[in-house]
Amino acid sequence: MRTIIKILLMASLSAAMFSSCKKYLDVVPDNVATLESSFVNANETQAYLFGCYNALQNLSDVRRNAGFTTSGEIIFPYPLQDQNILGQGGDGGFQILRGTQNSANPILNYWDGYNMGLNLWQPIRRCNTLLDNINVPRDLNAYDKTRWIAEAKFLKAYYHYWLLRMYGPIPIQDKSLPVNATTEQVRIKQQPVDSCFNYVVGLLDEAAKDLPPVIQNTALESGRITSTIALAVKAEVLATQASPLFNGNPDYVAMKRQDGVSLFPATYDPNKWQRALDATKAAIDAANAANATLYSLKLTGNITHLSDSIRQLLTIQGAFVDSWNQEQIWTLNPQFGWQYMASPRVTAEAAANVFAVYSNFSVPIAESELFYTDHGVPINEDNTWDYAGRYTLQKGDLQHAYYLHFDYLTAKGNFHREPRYYADVAFDGANWFGSGNTDDRNPNYINAVNGFASPPDQLRFNATGYWAKKLVPYQSTAGQSSVWQGYSWPFIRLTSLWLLYAECLNEVGGPSATVYNWIDQVRARAGLQGVVDSWNNYSRNPGKPSTKEGLRAIIHQERRIELAFEGQAGWDLRRWKELQSVLAGPVQGWNVFDRTVNGYYQVLNVFQPIFGLRNYFYPIQDYDILTNPNLTQTLYW
């Protein structure tokens, strides 16, 4: 869904200037504006509405997203000389995995707005203020009034949902407190998580019925919320409520409010999965009605030569980085600004200019090994794949000539992998279509052994020898003059809904041909056989798809592969209560500072993640607990 929000206006702009730029929603009201002036007419009221969107746009910064920074998919290395300096700056979210989180000054603090977090209570209050004053402007027509109310309700729901995922039980701010509120009124209480989920879903239902299914006038209204987006978010919300983290989680059943009210349900409720199933089907139906389809590759620039193999990789990648395509249900406008962190040095110019490409976004070996073999099964299950020998070396051959540099020594684990691996991950010896070279018969390639991964300054380096290639479009170039192809960050894609539906179907009724079909539609684009055929023909555990538990593991891995590096896996692993096991072992990578082949290809422990039971939810800052005795600190903090 092409829904773009570019918010650049100030609320104090004249009506004429606002009319010419009203597609931009990044409105920050003038600090001296009065409440009355904010709603004096329809134009000012719309400016106030667009200000409600502002926090939403900031959420597109992946450094603020716990689903990205603490997922274990990408780690951010500290310079070797600064190993003991664990700051809380722009990379603070990544460093939570090093044990830096605390309750005195939390990282990614979305309660108070510190350390890369946002104070989400502020935009929630703003939404409430708009709803309280929507009847003031006399020139506001009925259609706009209804739609703006629906948008404010959606935004209020989503901000509550973000807080709910991070903190569990939260206060519900359905109404703004008056300015003369008493001390006791200000000391709000958290509500049980099921009450919070039900509140969010109720708001989304109210919003969806009054929102347009698609944006018709994209030139003026791109980025505004549609009913299709609202229904897709509702599906995700209900699946989160049904998942083990919130649904009868024994680890948090002891968390109670100061007055003794239990904040987590004590027992598992299977009916929650049925609600999620129904909501996901409704979201898919809405997406179909809005003409959502799988991405079709759109090439730009001067392509010298493009094989079918590389075309497939660009299609897989393009579904994410080609903004506003028909596969993207919900996209936020602010463009991804960290390509220089995700890109390798694939040219001599880039290798010589450490300021052009930092390469700090490092993909652990474990994440690279998540992707299937070319038979569509996990690498440790494929009965034809040399799992034990995956760290030995092998030269690039003609069969893999489009993926690996011919005759170049690289790890054997890079051979015979599925297309999503080559589309999403780059490594020593990997070909790199793009960065100024669009001839896939003689492409750039990564020569990490000779220092392209780790320059001598030991500041701007990749700590593992694997890069998140998915995040860098082929049109981008890096070197003496870097030009990054901008793209906006998708929050929900069609394939995400398909896999969510498969997950709900399996949780409700177990394996079936219908469940397989939804998974297989996603796998087909990657050129893989269906689940049943792949496991029957190649897996050491051929019966895995036939059991509910086995198919659950397959679906979870399929989601982690399909949505890799998109800021979703961290949230999924949390709601499944699997993140603790994923982060149980050390983050590993190659010996990237060694300049010999044999020396480089030694597996090293980069660091041991610190992620215990308490890390599933974030702490409330100690100061807030002291000033509001009605709040209960997150369990285990």
pLDDT for the residue 589: 98
Q: What confidence score (pLDDT) does residue 79 get?
A: 62
* 114 belongs to a structural domain: yes
Q: What percent of the chain clears pLDDT 90, i.e. is strictly above it?
A: 84
Residues 477-489 have a mean pLDDT of 90
Helix axes 42-52, 121-133, angle to 10 degrees: 160
pLDDT at residue 453, rounded to an integer: 66
Q: State the Cα angle at 265 between 261 and 271, rounded to 5°.
A: 140
Average pLDDT, rounded, for the chain: 92
Q: What is the pLDDT, as a whole number, of residue 373?
A: 98
Q: Is the per-residue pLDDT at 440 higher than 70? A: yes
For the record, the structure tokens of 66 come out as 């716990």
Kindly indicate the confidence band of residue 89, based on its pLDDT and cuts at 50, 70 and 90: confident
* pLDDT tens profile 140-173: 999 999 999 999 999 999 999 999 999 999 999 9
Q: How far apart are alpha carbons 165 and 168 in whole angstroms?
A: 6
More confident residue, 455 or 60: 60
- Using DSSP's 3-state secondary structure scheme, residue 475 falls into coil
Q: Answer yes or no: is 31 within a domain.
A: yes
In 64-120, alpha helices (H):
66-69, 92-95
In a domain, 60, yes or no: yes
Spatial separation of the C-alpha atoms in residues 161 and 99, rounded to whole Å: 25
311: buried, middle or exposed (CB in 10 Å: 19+, 13-18, 0-12)? middle
For residue 484, the Cα-to-chain-centroid distance in whole angstroms is 21
Let me know if residue 601 belongs to a domain: no
Is position 119 within any domain? yes
Q: Domains in the chain: how many in total?
A: 1
| Phi, psi dihedrals of residue 584, rounded to the nearest 5° | -70, -35
User: How far is the C-alpha of 122 from the C-alpha of 111, rounded, in Å?
Assistant: 10
- What band does 240 get if pLDDT is binned at 50, 70 and 90? very high
497-555 pLDDT, tens digit each: 999 999 999 999 999 999 999 999 999 999 999 999 999 999 999 999 999 999 999 99
Q: Using one digit for the tens of pLDDT, what is the confidence trace for 347-399?
A: 888 888 878 889 999 999 999 999 999 999 999 999 999 999 999 999 999 99
> Over the range 194-204, which residues count as b (16 or more CB within 10 Å of their CB) and which as e?
bebbebbbebb
Instruction: Check residue 31 and give its pLDDT.
Output: 46
Query: Exposed, middle or buried by CB within 10 Å (0-12, 13-18, 19+), for 384?
Result: exposed
| pLDDT value of position 456 | 66
State the pTM of this model.
0.93
Please check whether residue 123 is in contact with residue 55, taking contact to mean a CB–CB distance below 8 angstroms. Answer: yes
> How far is residue 26's CA from residue 55's CA, in Å, rounded to a whole number?
9
Cβ atoms within 10 Å, residue 269: 14
Secondary structure E strands in 482-633: 488-493, 587-590, 603-607
Residue at 453 is within a domain: no
- Does 248 reside within a domain? yes
Structural domain boundaries enclosing 279? 15-289
Is 185 domain-assigned? yes
pLDDT digit string (tens) for 130-143? 999 999 999 999 99
User: Domain of 269: which CATH number?
Assistant: 1.25.40.390
pLDDT at 352: 81
**pLDDT score of 8 more than 50:** no
Residues 224-237, buried b or exposed e (16+ Cβ, 10 A)? bbbbbbbbbbbbbb
